Amino acid sequence: MSLQNELYKELILEHSRNPSHRGHLDDANVHESGVNRSCGDEVELELFVKDAVIRGIRVNGNGCSISMASGSMMAESVDGMTVEQAEQLIENFKAMITEGKAVELPAELEDLEALQGVKRYPIRVKCATLSWNTLEQALKKAASL
């Protein structure tokens, strides 16, 4: 295994052990949940969206380390973004994971590259994209607030 893969593995384990953005938001105005039956991953999102900006996000759930790490990284990435920026990132992330497309990620989002290795394991792709698909649904709901 290459050094880079080792670093990515460490990063995924670190996020799954100490997930970011857990807990609840008092002012959440969007709730959405998602399930990945092929692995048993469950994710619940709480968002506070105002003026088309994600002003708060919490990710809760249970699942494998890939799904939990992905949710944690996602929350860190999109917290504070506009809905439009987040939608673009969802699209880029999914292109990277499912099509193996090389995408330009801003320096502060480089952690997400750690997940690109899952594209070699189709069954894991659903784990990595679960929270992102759930966020996509949540943002659709937010648009009709």
Binding-site ranges for Zn ion (CB under 5 A) = 39, 41, 64, 67, 127
CB of 64 to Zn ion, least distance (A): 3
CB of 3 to Zn ion, least distance (A): 26
Sheet (strand 53-62) strand order:
30-36, 41-50, 53-62
Residues 98 and 143: their CA atoms lie apart, in Å, by: 26
Residues 122 and 68: their CA atoms lie apart, in Å, by: 17
Closer residue to Zn ion (CB): 24 or 37: 37
Residues 28 and 103: their CA atoms lie apart, in Å, by: 31
CB of 11 to Zn ion, least distance (A): 17
Closer residue to Zn ion (CB): 128 or 139: 128
Closer residue to Zn ion (CB): 38 or 88: 38
